[in-house]
């Protein structure tokens, strides 16, 4: 089958309707086949949203099927609104990550806000109370005015929604990379907690049951959001697309959370589904298909916020904060009472049927659930055809003509004359890295997010993974997001493996056991074979990493068409992880804790600097490649640190990643206020040892008396542990020793290798101000004027 | 003893207030916004959040809710009312405490741990405090305390400034531009009380620093103050508030 979105030889005149709705000629033929006739306008609109990439996964489905999706304690997974995993004590955790990239590029505040709202609905739709949000954001050049506009609006949008709805934002990422210049990424992860008995699925069982719609009314906002915005290559910020962005109302969502959880708790509804992409069409067809039923909808009964809406507009509107539920007729009065009490409009809009169709009528339904004699059928489509039996495209995948190969792990370290470390001053490089937009403190962002509402936050944002206690138990949940786009741009398979490894490592170093991963795959146009190859390689790498680590994929989201006239984004596999710590008193964090502790590096560096923060700063030789990963070693490292923490041997543990060992240790120092004096053996190149980002490494500190036990345990796991020095003082000092310990001092003929010797105060100052400085976020003249105006007494005095 | 926490539609820190009261060993009671009946509680907390969405202006719709009629009567009868964050905004909009909460001077939502210091330890809301700076979180977009100069002078003269933001050394951050003053409040004011001294509001969240596991339990000094004062008020047979003349004396 050929995919033709536009045909150069197309005759002049208006585009046919299906193409304007994003349905290709080939897809229209399949629709005709499934219906046995031509679709009418409403039906075509329903197919266009449901067969969009966003709703149908039509390009990615064949790939996603290869992922490991089973794990112990899983109650719900891929195909459900969110993954749900048991955590004991009769409790379970629900979590999922989702993208809202294109809406945020068009209208940053509302795009990001509704991204938060959408993912929260996925959580409470499962019967879970949302307890945390993490936001992973990616932008272009931070000094560019448009980037600053996007950063400001998106950060305000995430905060504006999360703060109001009362769910703390406890972590996430903020990354700048030129490839996101025209296409920022907004990936939002939400976590919820539920009693196991609360679990409910998005289905519409029981023919004769009532179908009710509650929450906000239906309007023209967000028409075609899924099909037009999320599933097509991006053409600048076209003002004509503004109406496709949804508008969020966190106050309405807060009421919706409380009402929905009460309905589920009291068993008043049989199934419940939120209205997200694809609106009523999606919620109705998925609910019916999952239960093997059909739904008859009374179009006139759907509450509107504006007159004159065409049936197709009602069916695909993506107005926010709406829920579709199925209830037994005898429970309807109680359902109404709950919604009335929370001040939420509710309407009886249809019946569950046996025919497997989504049928829409105008003119009403009689008390027996049949259309009134005078009613007119507007549309009739098999639910399956819209969802489980939707079209699947087997896209062509072609690797780019020229790409780099990672050096195999374990190949001998050699001094690499191509690397620019000769002549470098390690202290200056460390300062530059710590103050860089990607590694400096994210404080400017997270201070705009309520991080502690609900009284669960143990670890605030800023110092590694987020930690939330589970009230009424000794347990804690540990959560993080990570995605490596720089290596993915060079090698999408390796980049995805590294992303899974880093995200899970960040959970394991607290002592917690990762329960599962959720993923947001941000890639380019799948109709381009090179972009589809990137996606295919990433899914392969992600699956391999999850299998090696014994962690299931519990859900996720695919965001394709992340392209704009300037090019495609770097492939970005965003990985969200939730881990369980059985006893919160064993929690270990990255900052050093005690003067005199040993500092131990576990794991060994491997060659390759490509894709590192150092490479972005200093450049690298053209033949260099990113460091590879041995997944078995990664699994051993994570098992080792969890075991060591469980035995009470570890005082602090920190992952070695962006900026390498030097940045990792600097963070342990800055975050604790304790210095360290270390000695680092350099075999090959100082740049690799200090700033290389080869995976499967961590820095821990421990009481000196525990050092032999740590060493022994590491050997049992087949790992190399090396004591680098001790915690103490107010400076970070790293001496370089060994045959590769060369540097500027040697160039000057001193014959002694350079040491890195810096005060913590200096490091902290650089790190603390880097981001705000890069964004120009210090108050300027215009800002001061606005502030003065806002602070004037006005009418509130 | 039972202490009530009002739930407006849009309240979200009611969870935290209920949790802190349970930690303090009293029975927390949820008070629904649609009823003026406070079901006999011994004190009331108006919690943080976004009551009625905070549309138009923070707290301005909530002042008209039925429960606020009950709260006003309760306060007039001498009952203790503590408004935290959005609860402070509701009290100010209702005229139960003086002043107004404007947008933060930064024009951004501010979420971080700040230091505040009680100005006096003989008030019902600070009696269990040790007098040292208390480190508790703020989480608000509209927390810049404002009142005209005469009102501010009057508040200070009558000892009704209960809390000020302070620097690490304990000195008050009086200047709105002081980095330790997180929202630009005039004279560094973080919390005030009414003339009779039985209704108080503050922007920071003492109820969120209620357990060591959450970072500290420093906020419990203020929650325990409320609990002790409410117990005393009950034990004394719910006495009426001091009159204006008594308060001035």
Higher pLDDT, B136 or A561: B136
Helix-helix angle A760-775:A426-434, to 10 degrees = 50
In this predicted model, what pLDDT tens digit does every residue of A424-463 receive, in sequence order? 678 888 999 999 999 999 999 999 999 999 999 999 999 9
Q: Does residue A621 surpass a pLDDT of 80?
A: no
Q: Looking at residues A339-365, what average pLDDT do you find?
A: 94
Query: Cβ contacts (< 8 Å) between B146 and chain A: which residues?
Result: 791, 793, 796-797
Beta-carbon separation of A455 and B214 below 8 A: yes
DSSP string, A73-87: TEEE-BTBSSEEEEE
Q: Is A301 exposed, middle or buried (0-12, 13-18, 19+ CB in 10 A)?
A: middle
A631 band by pLDDT with thresholds 50, 70 and 90: very high
| DSSP conformation letters of B55-122 | -SSTTTTGGGSHHHHHHHHHHHTT-EEEEETHHHHHHHHHTSSSSEEEPPTTSS-EEEEEEEEES-SS
Find out whether A620 and A419 touch, Cβ atoms under 8 Å.
Answer: yes
Interface test with chain A among B9, B106, B149, B218, by most A beta carbons within 10 Å: B9
Spatial CA neighbour of A661 closest among A433, A420, A376: A433
Average confidence (pLDDT) over A555-576: 92
Q: Average pLDDT of A573-595?
A: 97
Sign for the pseudo-dihedral over CA of A201, A202, A207, A208: positive
DSSP code of residue A795: G
Q: What value of ipTM does the predicted structure carry?
A: 0.95
In this structure, is the dihedral angle defined by the CA atoms of residues A165, A167, A168 and A172, taken in order, positive or negative? negative
User: How many beta carbons lie within 10 A of that of residue A305, not counting itself?
Assistant: 13
Q: Of A251, A779, A790, which is closest to B50 when you measure between CB atoms?
A: A251
Q: Note the pLDDT of residue B96.
A: 97
Radius of gyration of chain A (CA): 27
A585 to chain B: closest CA residue: B213
A451 Cβ under 8 Å from any chain B Cβ: yes
Mean pLDDT of B74-79: 96
To the nearest whole Å, the CA of B50 is away from the closest chain A CA by 6
Cα-only R_g, chain B: 16
**A54 flagged as catalytic:** yes
Right CATH number for B2-102+144-156+190-248 from 3.40.50.880, 3.30.1280.10, 3.30.70.20, 3.40.50.2300? 3.40.50.880
Looking at chain A, the whole-number percentage of residues with pLDDT higher than 70 is 88
Comparing A123-137, A764-778, B68-82, the range with the smallest average pLDDT is A764-778
Average pLDDT value for residue range A239-264: 83
pLDDT at residue A780 is higher than 50:
no
Cβ–Cβ of B148/A446 closer than 8 Å? no
Ranges assigned E (strand) in A77-178: 83-88, 91-99, 129-139, 169-176
Residue B240 CA from chain centroid, whole number? 21
User: Which residue, chain included where needed, has tokens 């001193």?
Assistant: A750
Neighbours of B247 (CB within 10 A): 15
pLDDT digits (tens, 9 = 90+) for A665-687: 999 999 999 999 999 888 777 88
Q: Which residue among the candidates A18, A41, A100, A102 is catalytic per the annotation?
A: A100
CB contact under 8 A, B109 and A343: no
The stretch A114-129 carries a mean pLDDT of: 95
The residues facing B193 across adjacent strands are B200
A95 contacts: CB under 8 Å, gap ≥ 6? A82, A83, A123, A189, A190, A191, A192, A479, A516, A518, A554, A555, A576, A578
Closest CA to A628 of A419, A413, A403, A407: A407
As a whole number, the mean pLDDT across chain B is 95
SS3 A450: coil
pLDDT computed for residue A417 by the predictor: 37
Active site residue B33: no
Edge-to-edge strand order for the sheet containing B27-32?
B27-32, B2-7, B43-46, B80-84, B199-202, B189-193, B161-165, B110-118, B134-140
Min Cα–Cα distance to chain A from B238, Å = 32
Q: What is the pLDDT of residue B247?
A: 57
Find, in chain B, the residue whose alpha carbon is nearest to that of A795.
Answer: B100
Which residues in chain B are closer than 8 Å to A446, comparing Cβ atoms?
A: 111
Asked if B139 and A790 come within 8 Å (Cβ–Cβ), the reply is no
Q: Which residues contact A566 (CB under 8 A, 6 or more apart)?
A: A181, A182
| Distances in whole angstroms, Cα of residue A603 to Cα of each of A228, A600, A636, B10 | 47, 10, 10, 49
Whole-number pLDDT of residue A15: 81
For the residues A137-154, what does the mean pLDDT come to? 95
Q: Is residue A12 predicted with pLDDT exceeding 70?
A: no
pLDDT mean over A245-258: 90
Cα dihedral sign for A321, A325, A330, A334?
A: negative
Helix (H, G, I), strand (E, B) or coil at A233: coil
Helices (H) and strands (E) in chain B, counts: 6, 11
Q: Are residues A168 and A132 in contact, defined by beta-carbon separation less than 8 angstroms?
A: yes
Set B119, B144, B205, B218: catalytic member: B205
pTM for the full predicted model: 0.92
What are the domain boundaries of chain B? 2-102+144-156+190-248
Tens digits of residue pLDDT in A42-77: 999 999 999 988 888 899 999 999 999 988 899 998
Sole residue written with tokens 């032999």:
A708
Q: A215 Cβ partners below 8 Å, 6+ apart?
A: A252, A256, A275, A321, A322, A323, A344, A345
User: A580 pairs with which residues across the strands?
Assistant: A477, A513
């Amino acid at each position: 089958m050929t995919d033709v979105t536009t045909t150069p030889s197309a005759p002049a005149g208006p585009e046919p309707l299906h193409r304007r709705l994003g349905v290709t000629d080939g897809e229209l033929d399949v629709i005709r086949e499934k219906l046995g006739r031509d679709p009418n306008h409403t039906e075509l609109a329903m197919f266009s949203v449901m067969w969009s990439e966003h709703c149908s996964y039509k390009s990615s489905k064949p790939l996603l099927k290869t992922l490991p999706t089973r794990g112990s304690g899983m109650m719900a997974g891929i195909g459900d609104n969110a993954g749900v995993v048991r955590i004991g004590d009769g409790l379970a955790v629900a979590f999922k990550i989702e993208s809202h990239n294109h809406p945020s590029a068009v209208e940053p505040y509302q795009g990001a806000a509704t991204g938060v709202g959408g993912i929260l609905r996925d959580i409470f739709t499962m019967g879970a109370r949302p307890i945390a949000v993490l936001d992973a954001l990616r932008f272009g050049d931070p000094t560019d005015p448009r980037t600053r506009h996007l950063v400001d609006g998106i950060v305000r949008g995430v905060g504006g929604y999360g703060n109001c709805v009362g769910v703390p934002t406890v972590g996430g990422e903020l990354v700048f990379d030129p490839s996101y210049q025209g296409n920022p990424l907004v990936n939002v992860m939400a976590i919820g907690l539920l009693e196991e008995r609360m679990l409910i699925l998005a289905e519409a069982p029981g023919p004769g049951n009532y179908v009710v719609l509650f929450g906000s009314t239906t309007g023209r906002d967000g028409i075609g959001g899924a099909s037009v915005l999320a599933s097509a290559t991006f053409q600048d910020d076209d003002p004509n697309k503004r109406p496709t962005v949804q508008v969020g109302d966190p106050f309405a969502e807060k009421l919706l959370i409380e009402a929905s959880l009460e309905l589920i708790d009291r068993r008043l509804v049989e199934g419940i589904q939120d209205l997200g992409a694809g609106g009523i069409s999606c919620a109705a067809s998925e609910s019916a298909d999952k239960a093997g039923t059909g739904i008859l909808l009374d179009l006139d009964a759907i509450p509107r916020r504006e007159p004159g809406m065409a049936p197709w507009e009602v069916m695909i509107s993506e107005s926010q904060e709406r829920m579709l539920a199925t209830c037994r007729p005898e429970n309807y009065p109680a359902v109404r009472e709950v919604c009335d009490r929370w001040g939420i409009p509710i309407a009886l809009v249809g019946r569950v049927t046996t025919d497997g169709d989504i049928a829409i009528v105008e003119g009403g339904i009689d008390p027996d659930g049949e259309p009134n004699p005078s009613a007119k059928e507007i549309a009739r489509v098999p639910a399956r055809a819209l969802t489980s039996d939707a079209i699947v495209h087997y896209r062509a995948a072609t690797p780019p003509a020229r790409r780099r190969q990672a050096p195999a792990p374990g190949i001998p370290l050699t001094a690499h004359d191509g690397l620019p470390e000769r002549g470098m001053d390690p202290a200056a490089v460390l300062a530059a890295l710590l103050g860089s937009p990607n590694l400096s403190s994210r404080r400017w962002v997270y201070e705009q997010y309520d991080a502690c509402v609900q009284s669960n936050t143990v670890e605030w944002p800023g110092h590694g993974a987020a930690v939330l206690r589970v009230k009424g138990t000794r347990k804690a949940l540990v959560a993080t997001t990570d995605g490596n786009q720089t290596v993915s741009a060079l090698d999408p398979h390796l980049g995805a493996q590294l992303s899974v490894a880093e995200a899970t490592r960040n959970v394991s170093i607290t002592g917690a056991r990762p329960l599962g991963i959720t993923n947001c795959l941000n890639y380019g146009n799948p109709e381009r074979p090179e972009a589809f190859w990137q996606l295919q390689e990433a899914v392969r790498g992600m699956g391999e990493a999850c299998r090696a680590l014994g962690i299931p994929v519990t859900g996720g989201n695919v965001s394709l068409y992340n392209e704009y006239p300037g090019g495609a984004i770097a492939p970005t596999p965003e990985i969200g992880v939730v881990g369980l710590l059985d006893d919160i008193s064993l929690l270990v964090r990255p900052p050093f804790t005690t003067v005199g502790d040993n500092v131990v590096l576990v794991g060994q560096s491997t060659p390759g600097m490509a894709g590192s923060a150092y490479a972005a700063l200093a450049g690298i030789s053209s033949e260099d490649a990113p460091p590879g990963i041995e997944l078995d070693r990664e699994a051993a490292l994570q098992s080792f640190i969890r075991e060591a923490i469980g035995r009470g041997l570890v005082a602090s543990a920190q992952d070695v990643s962006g900026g390498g060992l030097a940045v990792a240790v600097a963070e342990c120092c800055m975050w604790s206020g304790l210095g360290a004096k270390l000695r680092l053996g350099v075999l090959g190149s100082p740049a690799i040892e200090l700033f290389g980002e080869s995976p499967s490494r961590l820095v821990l500190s421990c009481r000196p008396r525990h050092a032999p036990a740590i060493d022994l345990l590491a050997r049992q796991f087949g790992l190399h542990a090396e004591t680098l020095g001790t915690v103490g003082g107010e400076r970070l000092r790293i001496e370089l020793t060994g045959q590769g310990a060369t540097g500027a001092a040697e160039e000057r003929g001193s014959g002694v290798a350079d040491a890195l010797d810096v005060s913590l105060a200096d490091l902290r100052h650089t790190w603390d101000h880097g981001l705000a400085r890069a964004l120009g976020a210090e108050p300027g003249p215009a800002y001061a004027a606005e502030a003065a105006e806002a602070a004037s007494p006005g009418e509130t005095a | 003893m039972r202490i009530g926490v009002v739930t407006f539609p849009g309240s979200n820190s009611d969870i935290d207030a209920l949790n802190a009261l349970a930690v303090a060993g009293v029975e927390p009671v949820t008070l629904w916004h649609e009823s003026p009946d406070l079901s006999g509680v011994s004190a009331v907390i108006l919690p943080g959040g976004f009551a009625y969405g905070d549309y138009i202006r923070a707290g301005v719709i909530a002042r008209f809710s039925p429960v606020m009629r009950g709260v006003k009567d309760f306060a007039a009868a001498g009952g203790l009312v503590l408004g935290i964050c959005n609860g402070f905004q509701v009290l100010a909009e209702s005229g139960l405490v003086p002043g107004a909460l404007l947008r933060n001077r930064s024009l951004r939502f501010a979420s971080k741990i700040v230091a505040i210091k009680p100005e006096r330890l003989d008030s019902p809301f600070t009696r269990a405090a040790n007098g040292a700076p208390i480190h508790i979180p703020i989480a608000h977009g509209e927390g810049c305390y404002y009142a005209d100069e005469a009102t501010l002078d009057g508040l200070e003269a009558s000892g009704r400034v209960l809390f000020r933001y302070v620097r690490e050394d304990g000195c008050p951050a009086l200047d709105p531009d002081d980095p330790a003053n997180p929202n630009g409040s005039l004279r560094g004011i973080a919390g005030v009380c009414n003339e009779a001294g039985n209704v108080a509001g503050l922007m920071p969240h003492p109820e969120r620093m209620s357990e060591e596991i959450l970072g500290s339990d420093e906020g419990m000094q203020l929650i325990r103050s409320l609990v002790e004062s409410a117990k005393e008020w009950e034990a004394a047979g719910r006495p009426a508030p001091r009159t204006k003349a008594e308060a001035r004396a």
